[in-house]
């Protein structure tokens, strides 16, 4: 018999035959089809009946559990949760869940994952895994909020709906973990964006694929990128779709520079948190030709620096330019950076060459002492 589990704002209970309509409606959803490839599409009442009569029994027979996530007051079905793929010799299982469209945005998934995780790890399991798609930042946020640490990437771990295979991002929680939310190295932007009235910076996302392809397809941009080769559409699509996941992982924060006057994407800027242990990060930026020479890149660099020093543990920001790129050097100087080093053959160049790199640095105290230098 399934033991009921109470969480904050949720109750995990056994599925009942009268849940069939809610299960059918909940699973018959674009997000479920995207992130649960085995689901038949469309998902009908007949499918729901088979799940309740056979699927649930099968999970229990293999040592797992399945619960309906219900509203503790109305008993309305809000979703489902459970764990399977149990490996008794390792004390390990894989947790999974779904939330109905009518219950999203209320913290239902986080509350349910916390409740089931605490119960399972307190009842003998040593390790729970939670796997998500790269382009499912909502589920990654749930994992972090429920005390799961990002562990790595499972390459081609899941058969896709189109016949291919998809990578999955792995999060884990151990019995000895506190269950408290995992601190993030790179928090969200306050209010979702940064701005000074002239430029606005917003997170890069899948919708920015066409713009990013245009920008990164410019010879002067890709030739100074690493590696220095023109990107393909597939590479750009992946970069944009995975940008939110990289931000959540704390490795890089990629943003679109928007001309505030017109709302037009003008360029990109990113903070790469290469060395959390030393508090050092790097910024890089590129602008479309029509927006160069207007001070927008300088403003963007300074906005990112202010955010990094105020909201993260970054203590030192570096940036590099080609020795011949006087314009980019001027951008950094106006944003408060100081030239620090000349690194010979620092980076790979086009056609197997090596190029020198002029490195600039900005410290928090520099920014506070000298202030912005946006004139000229």
- What's the rounded mean pLDDT across residues 135-160? 97
pLDDT, tens only, 161-200: 888 999 999 999 999 999 999 999 999 999 999 999 999 9
What pLDDT does 367 receive?
76
Task: Write the secondary structure of 296-323 as one string of H (helix), E (strand) and C (coil).
Answer: HHHHHHHHHHHHHHHHCCCCEEEEEECC
Long-range CB pairs of 324-327 (<8 Å, 24+ gap) are 325/224, 327/292, 327/293
d(CA 50, CA 41): 15
Q: Which CATH superfamily is domain 190-370 in?
A: Gcn5-related N-acetyltransferase (GNAT) (3.40.630.30)
What pLDDT does 207 receive?
97
- What's the rounded mean pLDDT across residues 356-365? 95
Which fold would CATH assign to domain 5-174?
Answer: Aminopeptidase (3.40.630)
Q: Which of these ranges, 124-138, 186-200, 353-367, has the smallest mean pLDDT?
A: 353-367
pLDDT, tens only, 302-319: 999 999 999 999 999 999
Return all residues near 110 (Cβ < 8 A) that are at least 6 apart: 142, 145, 146
Residue 376 pLDDT level (bands cut at 50, 70, 90)? very low
What pLDDT does 372 receive?
55
pLDDT, tens only, 316-356: 999 999 999 999 999 999 999 999 999 999 999 888 899 99
163: left (phi over 0), alpha (psi -120 to 50) or beta: left
Same fold, 5-174 and 190-370: yes
Residue 34 pLDDT level (bands cut at 50, 70, 90)? very high
What pLDDT does 42 receive?
94
Residue 76 pLDDT level (bands cut at 50, 70, 90)? very high
User: Taking the domains of the chain in order of start, what are their residue ranges?
Assistant: 5-174, 190-370
> Can you read off the two tokens belonging to residue 301?
């660099």
- What's the rounded mean pLDDT across residues 82-94? 96
Model confidence at 373: pLDDT above 60: no
Model confidence at 363: pLDDT above 70: yes
Total-model pTM = 0.94
């Amino acid at each position: 018999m399934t033991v009921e589990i109470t969480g904050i704002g949720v109750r995990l209970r056994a599925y009942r035959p009268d849940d069939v309509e809610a299960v059918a409606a909940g699973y018959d959803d674009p997000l479920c089809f995207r992130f649960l490839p085995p689901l038949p599409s469309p998902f009908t009442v007949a499918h729901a009946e088979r799940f309740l009569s056979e699927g649930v029994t099968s999970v229990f027979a293999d040592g797992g559990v399945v619960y309906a996530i219900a509203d503790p007051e109305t008993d309305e079905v809000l979703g489902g949760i459970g764990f399977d793929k149990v490996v008794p010799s390792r004390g390990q299982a894989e947790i999974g869940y779904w939330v109905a469209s009518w219950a999203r945005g209320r913290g239902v998934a986080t509350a349910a994952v916390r409740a089931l995780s605490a119960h399972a790890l307190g009842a003998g399991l040593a390790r729970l895994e939670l796997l998500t798609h790269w382009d499912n930042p909502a589920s990654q946020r749930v994992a972090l909020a429920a005390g799961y640490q990002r562990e790595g990437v499972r390459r081609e771990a899941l058969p896709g709906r189109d016949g291919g295979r998809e990578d999955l991002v792995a999060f884990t929680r151990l019995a000895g973990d506190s269950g408290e939310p995992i601190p993030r190295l790179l928090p969200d932007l306050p209010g979702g964006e940064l701005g000074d009235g002239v430029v606005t910076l917003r997170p890069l996302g899948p919708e920015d694929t066409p713009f990013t392809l245009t920008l990164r397809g410019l010879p002067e941009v890709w030739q100074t990128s690493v590696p220095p080769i023109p990107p393909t559409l597939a590479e750009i699509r992946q970069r944009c779709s995975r940008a939110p996941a990289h931000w959540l992982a704390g490795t890089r924060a990629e943003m679109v520079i928007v001309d505030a006057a017109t709302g037009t994407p003008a360029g990109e800027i990113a903070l790469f948190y290469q060395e959390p242990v030393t508090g050092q990060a790097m910024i890089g930026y590129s602008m479309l030709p029509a927006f160069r020479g207007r001070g927008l890149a300088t403003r963007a660099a300074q906005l990112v620096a202010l955010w990094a020093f105020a909201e993260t543990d970054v203590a030192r920001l570096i940036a590099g330019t080609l020795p011949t790129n006087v314009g980019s050097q001027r951008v950094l100087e106006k944003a408060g950076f100081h030239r620090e080093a000349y690194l010979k053959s620092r980076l790979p160049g086009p056609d197997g060459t090596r190029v020198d790199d002029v490195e600039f640095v900005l410290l928090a105290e520099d920014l506070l002492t000298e202030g912005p230098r946006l004139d000229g």
